[in-house]
Structure 1
Amino acid sequence: MTRVPATFDFLSSTISRLKLRQMSLVLALIETRNLHRAAESLNLSQPAATKLLQEIERTLGVSLFDRQPRGMVPTVYGMAAARHARLLLRDLHRLQQEMEGLKRGIAGTVHLGSVMAAVPRLIAGALASISQQHPTLRVSLLTDTSDALLAELHGGRLDVVVGRPISKRDRDSLTWEPLLDEEIRIVVGANNPLLARRGLTLADLAQENWVMQQDTTPMRHTIEAAFATAGLDLPRHSVETVSMLATASLLAQTGMVGSVPDSIASYFIALGTLAELPVELPAGMEPCGLITLADRPIGPALECLMTTLRSTAHQLRITSEPLEPMP
């Protein structure tokens, strides 16, 4: 007779005793840090909420929260339980959306994260196509740096990211599909005196004050590698920001130097607020691509969005038309 492994017995027993209401309570407590308010948010009495919390702690064999005068403070076990609870409830919501989508065609909400560089052409073009071809499919868009977006992806708050993997951990746990190559361009305000100088080199720009992205971002890594390759120290930078709008505004109003992706540079150059310096960087960034969690299923709505992004990227590669400023 085949013996069932003890680990399977434990898993089966744990699953049979866990309840979705318990998972919801853990998340509510993480948000409110107050048992009374958490119970109210779930339409429970406080005694019922206390019982649910005791049950899940007994099932898991650990204390999820410390009861302190300032409220319910999650333990390391509580934070871990909340992370898995969020993923579980999110998956159930996706399941419901997928079933509804299969009944009515492509429908539901996809949570998309994107680096700003991809927004003007790739993301805007793909979402325009989605709105015309699949009006019942909703897309929630979050823009940030690759490192911040990947944290949201790992936390289950995003379904897909258009960005760049930045660490070995990312490459081991994610699937990455390149979409677009993009150069970095060195830009200044349209009236910057550097534009009148001839024969500019990276060494000349090392003496200038720069606007830079934060040191966790792929673009910052690229700039650091470029100066290191040229045997130069990183320029001084009095401002660090991940906002492309802030970068463009600062460059337009000061004598600082900055680096932005080609799509962003083209837009502001067409507006007449920025100009490119004729200095090439010896190092480039990895292509911008589609990133998903390797162990997460891809439903019809997400597959539809990813297919549209691939198609839009293909069109951009073969046309490469300059971006016109908005009226």
Structure 2
Amino acid sequence: MDLFRRLKPTHLRLVAEIARRQKLQLAAEALAMSQPAASRMLADIEQETGAPLFIRHPRWMEPTPLGEAFLRHVRVILWEMESLQSEVESLNSGQMGEVRVGAVTGPAMGFLMPALQYVKEQSPRIEATIEVSPSVQLVRGLQEGRFDFIVARLPPEHDRRDLHLYPARSEDVSLLVRDSHPLAGRAEVPLEALRHYPWVVQERGSPIRRAVEDGFVAEGVEVPRNIYNSSSLLVVLALLASAEVIAPQSSEVAEILTGPELGARLVTLNVASRFTVSPYFVITNRGKQLPRAAQTVLEEVLRRI
């Protein structure tokens, strides 16, 4: 068996797309090939590996243990191939390339977006893709090669030996309400006065939620029980506009949402206690050279921290 000689990039992309989309037809469509052609190609690949890469369920497909091992290497190879192509294009065209960045909400709005805007002013042909997600999803995406770098917290279950962490900063949490809220404009609002109102907050276990709950516990005040769970900023804004809810957000997000440019009629509460979230990091894959465009953005992000 000589996989290195027999397998082609199209074979690797097909396996990766099947794992991502869980259906052969959708994977074939993503690669602009017919389903029969994709089926034959997968059969050829599995003949070379000597065992099935996927379990065929009636409506979906999932990787076998061999398939999982195959996929780990495929993702790295495809990432390196895309990086090579991007690097060649950047070298040939000067100021051109694709940058894929992931971040948690606060730093995404606080300094990642300004850094990207500055870089694109200098190099308009750089194409940037930004994904805002929880840290667990971002770290997984970085390890799978979907991001050049991320701005996130490192979950304790993840091994940092394959990652390079640039220390960034901690986040302060602000409490957003609409400007007609009964507590708006009051000075030094105690936590006891807050717990009686409904809250819209990220899911249990998220950093901001933990910071708020820890703040209540530290003051000996019962944690609010009337909770809407959502990490969607659109849901948060809709609830703020229609109800007397309290929405904890990072200070960077709160500063933008309460600014005059948006006209959202939101304010932050003047709370007697302070909520602080654990620090986040700028994270890259150790040992993987970034494309030139991504390196330029990374340097600008680090300059602004």
State TM-score, norm by structure 2. 0.83
- 1:32–1:38 Cα contact (<8 Å) kept: no
Paired residue type of 1:164: R
Task: Verify: 1:109 aligned to 2:98, yes or no.
Answer: yes
Equivalent residue number for residue 279 of structure 1: 271
- 1:27–1:82 Cα contact (<8 Å) kept: yes
Task: Verify: 1:183 aligned to 2:175, yes or no.
Answer: no
Structure having the larger proportion of residues in helix = 1
Q: For residues 63 and 305 of structure 1, do their structure 2 counterparts lie closer, same or farther at Cα, with a shift above 3 Å needed?
A: same
Equivalent residue number for residue 216 of structure 2: 227
Equivalent residue number for residue 7 of structure 1: none
Q: For residues 171 and 282 of structure 1, do their structure 2 counterparts lie closer, same or farther at Cα, with a shift above 3 Å needed?
A: farther
Q: After the TM superposition, which of the residue ranges 290-299 and 72-81 deviates more from structure 2?
A: 72-81
Equivalent residue number for residue 95 of structure 1: 84
Aligned partner (choices 300, 306, 315) of residue 298 of structure 2: 306
Cα shift at 1:207: 3.0
- 1:159–1:302 Cα contact (<8 Å) kept: yes
Q: For residues 186 and 43 of structure 1, do their structure 2 counterparts lie closer, same or farther at Cα, with a shift above 3 Å needed?
A: closer
Equivalent residue number for residue 23 of structure 2: 33
Q: When the two structures are aligned, how many residues end up with a matched partner?
A: 301
- 2:188–2:272 Cα contact (<8 Å) kept: no
Equivalent residue number for residue 67 of structure 2: 78
Q: For residues 285 and 37 of structure 1, do their structure 2 counterparts lie closer, same or farther at Cα, with a shift above 3 Å needed?
A: closer
Secondary structure, aligned partner of 1:236 = coil
Secondary structure, aligned partner of 2:259 = helix
Q: Deviations over 1:147-171 (max 9, x none)?
A: 3322322222121112322324154
Secondary structure, aligned partner of 1:270 = coil
Q: Deviations over 1:216-259 (max 9, x none)?
A: 42212222222232234431143111123432332232111121
- 1:190–1:252 Cα contact (<8 Å) kept: no
Cα shift at 1:63: 1.7
- 2:199–2:245 Cα contact (<8 Å) kept: yes
Equivalent residue number for residue 324 of structure 1: none
Instruction: Output the CA distance in 1 between the equivalents of 2:37 and 2:197.
Output: 64
Paired residue type of 2:282: L
Cα shift at 1:137: 1.8
Aligned partner (choices 125, 131, 134) of residue 114 of structure 2: 125
Task: Verify: 1:297 aligned to 2:289, yes or no.
Answer: yes
- 2:22–2:62 Cα contact (<8 Å) kept: no
Paired residue type of 1:241: S
Cα shift at 1:277: 1.9
Cα shift at 1:305: 0.8
Secondary structure, aligned partner of 1:183 = strand
Identify the structure with bigger relative contact order (alpha carbons < 8 Å, sequence gap 6+): 2
- 2:189–2:272 Cα contact (<8 Å) kept: no
- 1:161–1:290 Cα contact (<8 Å) kept: yes
Cα shift at 1:214: 1.3
Q: For residues 239 and 95 of structure 1, do their structure 2 counterparts lie closer, same or farther at Cα, with a shift above 3 Å needed?
A: same
Unaligned runs of at least 5 residues, structure 2: none
Cα shift at 1:111: 0.6
Cα shift at 1:109: 0.4
Cα shift at 1:94: 1.2
Unaligned runs of at least 5 residues, structure 1: 1-9, 315-327
Paired residue type of 2:286: A
Q: After the TM superposition, which of the residue ranges 169-178 and 120-129 deviates more from structure 2?
A: 169-178
Equivalent residue number for residue 242 of structure 2: 253
State TM-score, norm by structure 1. 0.78
Instruction: Output the CA distance in 1 between the equivalents of 2:279 and 2:30.
Output: 48
